[in-house]
């Protein structure tokens, strides 16, 4: 039994009839999870859970409660609405459900900067997601737990189902945020990423009101104190590029940029591990061999439970969740100064964007609002060739407010602190997916290091004629022919055609912002 807060479960309307476990240690949670049949230990110590049928987030099942205190602020064009009556009924049933089950309670913090700290309580029917949350959030000192009073509470009942007929929900899965009650319901999905992203969504609402820009990005810091940010959607390289042995890791996914600089929202990392390389990504790879790491949907060898990281048997979205101090050069606490450089990462599966380009302020706003990457063939049923994906601010599913709120904040901070923005394509070169090859991680790291070290500051550039992107003509440790994507294609006419196709998709997507964006930002997009 861990430390129990004097602010008990009665605070949440719970009167449990079975055992309640408070703030158990990782070893105790693993024991409980195995006892309850929630998963299994793998060969080198990590705990493995299978989350089927949900092996990823369910953005269409996310809801925000329409209530008086927040209704005028919410971007309802992006957020499904749930009435207070609907939420109250779902909460009533979730509490009744939890009262009849063994409960695991975890008290945690979000935000490494104490000035913005959010106290979070997870009330859970599952032991392994309690361990997941312990890994991903900031772990309070034992002295903080005795009188811990949560600011927000997550009721996590993955085995309970909503009833679409009576609850008027889209499916049996519900992730609902009630900003007035400060309660989050997660119903009908075992995928643990919903737990962490529910708090990220909450912070995306709360922090702009306090002058802090919440960001879907990783961050690291150099020996001389220079902070760098890495924005990007899943699979673009946020975790891989920020876990750099030459720089300290502030965090791999969620940060705030306030008056004092950058701070991590979390105390752990949530890395994609499909085809993880022990040579290209040694720091992350090592965490998949450590007790305390939580693995999701990884295939194992049934003979000895060794990991088969190259296989997509269960899902392409295989994950490892581990405390940030499992990375040897982690920065504790996760804070840094104002960034000098900002990287926008995209995995362009069309193979037409340059591997690195130096953006003007207007181009930075254009690409931030666009939030482009490409979905690969085979990752979803029916996807047979790359598909362009635009997720504004590199995180549309987590934005309660209109994207222009975040874009304008970013623009002001970039100007005030003179930060340089770079567009980095970690995707394909020499042709689209299926023809060309993925950009070598070693080349991408070299380009990022050159940008951070100032080695590209005075390098001449050539302008991409369609996207208007300034491409450096040389970069240390990178072959010159790699830098201009057109030069890597054997069929130059095919490149031109594919580039025009992608440019048209950018222009079509940005049409939704033509009434809000400044003229110079609109003009910073590609020319067709």
**What residues are labeled active site?**
57, 197, 216, 234, 238-239, 253, 319
Q: DSSP code of 304?
A: T
Is residue 132 within 8 A of residue 195, CB to CB? The reply is yes
Cα 206 from chain centre: 18
CA distances from residue 422 to 229, 322, 452 in whole angstroms, order as listed = 10, 29, 10
Q: Comparing C-alpha atoms, which of 184, 159, 181 is closest to residue 172?
A: 159
Whole-angstrom distance, CA of residue 150 vs CA of residue 107: 8
The 3-state secondary structure of 87-136 reads HHHHHHHHHHHHHCCCEEEEEEEECCCHHHCEEEEEEECCHHHHHHHHHH
Whole-number CA gyration radius for the chain: 23
The per-residue DSSP string of 459-475 comes to: --EEE-TTT--EEES-B
221 bridge partner residues: 227, 248
Whole-angstrom distance, CA of residue 397 vs CA of residue 230: 18
The tokens of 48 are what?
A: 């493995």
- The residue to which tokens 């970039």 are assigned: 414
Burial 374-394 (b: 16+ CB within 10 A, else e): bbbbebeeeeeebbbbbbbbb
**At what angle are helices 193-206 and 127-136 packed, to 10 degrees?**
50
Q: Comparing C-alpha atoms, which of 178, 173, 202 is closest to residue 190?
A: 173
Cis, bond preceding 333 (omega within 30 deg of 0): yes
What are φ and ψ of residue 30, in 5° steps?
A: -65, -45
The tokens of 9 are what?
A: 């479960």
Q: Comparing C-alpha atoms, which of 144, 97, 90, 162 is closest to residue 123?
A: 97
Whole-angstrom distance, CA of residue 176 vs CA of residue 183: 8
107 bridge partner residues: 121
The tokens of 87 are what?
A: 């939420």
Q: DSSP code of 209?
A: G
Compute the residue count for the chain. 528
Sign of CA dihedral 62, 268, 410, 365: negative
Whole-angstrom distance, CA of residue 407 vs CA of residue 149: 34
3-class secondary structure, 510: helix
Is residue 467 within 8 A of residue 503, CB to CB? The reply is yes
């Amino acid at each position: 039994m861990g430390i129990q807060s004097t602010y008990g479960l009665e605070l949440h309307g719970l009167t449990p009839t079975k055992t309640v476990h408070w703030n158990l240690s990782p070893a105790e949670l693993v024991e409980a999870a195995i006892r309850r049949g929630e998963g299994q230990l793998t060969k080198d110590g990590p705990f493995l859970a299978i989350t089927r049928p949900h092996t990823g987030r369910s953005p269409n099942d996310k809801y925000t409660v329409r209530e008086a205190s927040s209704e005028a602020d919410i971007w309802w064009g992006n957020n499904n609405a749930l009435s207070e009556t609907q939420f109250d009924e779902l909460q009533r049933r979730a509490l009744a459900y939890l009262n009849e089950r063994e409960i695991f309670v975890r008290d945690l913090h979000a935000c490494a900067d104490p000035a913005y700290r959010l106290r979070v309580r997870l009330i859970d029917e599952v032991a392994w997601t309690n361990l997941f949350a312990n890994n991903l959030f900031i772990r309070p000192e034992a002295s903080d737990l005795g009188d811990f009073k949560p600011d927000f509470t997550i009721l996590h009942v993955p085995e309970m189902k909503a009833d679409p007929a009576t609850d008027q929900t889209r499916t049996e899965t519900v992730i609902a945020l009630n900003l007035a009650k400060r309660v989050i319901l997660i119903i009908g999905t075992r995928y643990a990423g919903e737990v962490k992203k529910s708090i990220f969504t909450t912070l995306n609402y709360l922090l702009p009101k306090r002058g802090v820009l919440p960001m879907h990005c990783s961050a690291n810091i150099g020996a001389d104190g220079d902070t760098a940010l890495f924005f990007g959607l899943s699979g673009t390289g946020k975790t891989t590029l920020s876990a750099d042995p030459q720089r300290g890791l502030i965090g791999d996914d969620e940060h705030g940029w306030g008056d004092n600089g950058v701070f991590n929202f979390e105390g752990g990392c949530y890395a994609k591990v499909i085809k993880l390389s022990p040579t290209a990504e040694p720091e992350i790879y090592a965490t998949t061999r450590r007790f305390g790491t939580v693995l999701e949907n990884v295939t194992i060898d049934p003979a000895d439970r060794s990991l088969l990281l190259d296989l997509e048997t269960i899902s392409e979205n295989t994950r490892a969740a581990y405390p940030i101090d499992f990375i040897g050069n982690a920065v504790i606490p996760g804070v840094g100064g104002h960034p000098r450089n900002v990287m926008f990462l995209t995995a362009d599966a069309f193979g037409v964007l340059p591997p690195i380009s130096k953006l003007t302020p207007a181009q930075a706003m254009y690409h931030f609002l666009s939030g482009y990457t490409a979905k690969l063939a085979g990752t979803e049923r029916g996807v047979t060739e790359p598909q362009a994906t635009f997720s504004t601010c590199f995180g549309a599913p987590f934005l309660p407010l209109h994207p222009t709120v975040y874009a304008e904040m970013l623009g002001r901070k970039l100007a005030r602190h003179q930060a340089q923005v770079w567009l980095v394509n970690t995707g394909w070169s020499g042709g689209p997916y299926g023809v060309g090859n993925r950009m070598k991680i070693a080349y991408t790291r070299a380009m990022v290091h050159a940008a951070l070290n100032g080695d590209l500051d005075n390098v001449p550039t050539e302008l991409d004629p369609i996207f208007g992107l300034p491409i450096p003509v040389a970069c240390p440790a990178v072959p010159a022919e790699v830098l201009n994507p057109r030069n890597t294609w054997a069929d130059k006419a095919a490149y031109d055609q594919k580039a025009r196709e992608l440019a048209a998709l950018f222009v079509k997507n940005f049409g939704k912002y033509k009434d809000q964006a400044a003229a110079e930002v609109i003009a910073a997009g590609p020319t067709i």
